[in-house]
Amino acid sequence: MDVDLRKLRYFVAVAEELHFGRAADRLHIAQPVLSRQIRALEHELGAQLFHRTKRATELTPAGRQLLDDARPLLTSAAALRRRVAQAARGPRTFTIAFMPGITLTAAVRAFETLHPGIDVEVLRTSTADQVQVLHDGRADVSIVRLPIDQRALTLRPLYEEPRLAILPAHHRLAGKPSIEISDLAEEHLLQHPDQVPEWRDLPREPRHRPIPALNSVEEKLEHVAAGRGISILPSSVAAFYHRPDITAVPLTDLPPNKVALAWLATRRSPLIQTFVTLTKSLTPTSPPGT
C-alpha cells in the first residue's frame, strides 16, 4: 500500500489543531473535503485515527503513532523536493547553519574565494533545530553543539570549550574564581536537563518548577538577570552575550562542550567536502578578559 503524502499532510493538520474546521482553514480547503480525505486515509490504513464527539476531537493510539511517524516522513519529502530542485538548477547556494557563539567569518570568506559563483547563506539555529535544518533541507551543513541525535548524520569534530554557570550579577556565587556543579544543586536550571546531563545526577529534593519556553539565548539571559534561575553555557556563548547584569563563573567538574560539523550521511556534495576542510581552523571565541 502506498501512503498518499497529501492525505498525511491533511492528517497532521487535524492532529495538531484537534479541530476539523481550524485544520480546513489552515489547509485552505473545505471542511467536508478534509473529512472525506481523513476517512479515506483511515480506510487505507485499516485504523481509526480520531475519536470525534460534539465537544472534542482526540487522537486514538493509532493516530498518535501515525503523527509520530508522519512528521519526519513529510519533512524528508520536503527536503527531497528541495534537493532535487537544487540539483536541477545546479548548485547556486550553499547554506551553513550555526549555533550561537560560533563565528564563521573566516571559513565563509575562504569558501567564497574558492567558489565565487556560489551564494553562501548562513542560518542561525538553536538547540531545538540545529539538526532539523539538515533533515528538512534548509541547510547543507550545520555546526552543532553536542549532544545531538546523530542518526543519519556524518560528524566531524571541530573543537571543545569550557562550560560556565551563568548567574545573576547579585548571586551568592558571583565573583567566585570557580565552582562545581554541586554548588548549584538548589538552583532552578533554565534549560532542558538533556542539555546538561550532569544536572540529573545532582542529589536534591524533587521539584516541579516548570522550565519556561525559551527559544533563544537572549530570552534565557533575561530570565537569569531577573533572578528566575541559572543557565550553563559554553564559554564562547558567554563571551558573545556578555552583559553587566549577569556573571559567568567557570565550572571545574564539567566536561567541555563539543562542537562539530554535521551533514547528512547521504550527501556527497563536493561543496560539503570543501567546507569540511575549511572548518578545521575554526576555534572558539575568547572569553572576556583573555
Q: What pLDDT does residue 202 have?
A: 82
- Give me the long-range contacts of 204-213 (CB less than 8 A, separation at least 24): none
Q: What pLDDT does residue 287 have?
A: 44
Place of cell 575568547: 286
Q: pTM for this structure?
A: 0.69
Listing from the earlier edge strand, what are the strands of the sheet with 153-161?
A: 119-124, 93-98, 141-145, 257-264, 153-161
pLDDT in tens, 114-165: 999 898 999 999 988 999 899 888 899 999 999 999 999 999 999 999 999 9
Asked if omega into 255 is within 30° of 0 (cis), the reply is no
Q: What pLDDT does residue 91 have?
A: 61
Q: What pLDDT does residue 169 have?
A: 95
User: Which of the residues in the chain have pLDDT under 50?
Assistant: 287-290
Domains of the chain plus CATH, in order, are: 5-78 (1.10.10.10), 91-160+257-281 (3.40.190.10), 163-250 (3.40.190.10)
For residues 289 and 129, give the distance between their C-alpha atoms in angstroms, rounded to a whole number: 32
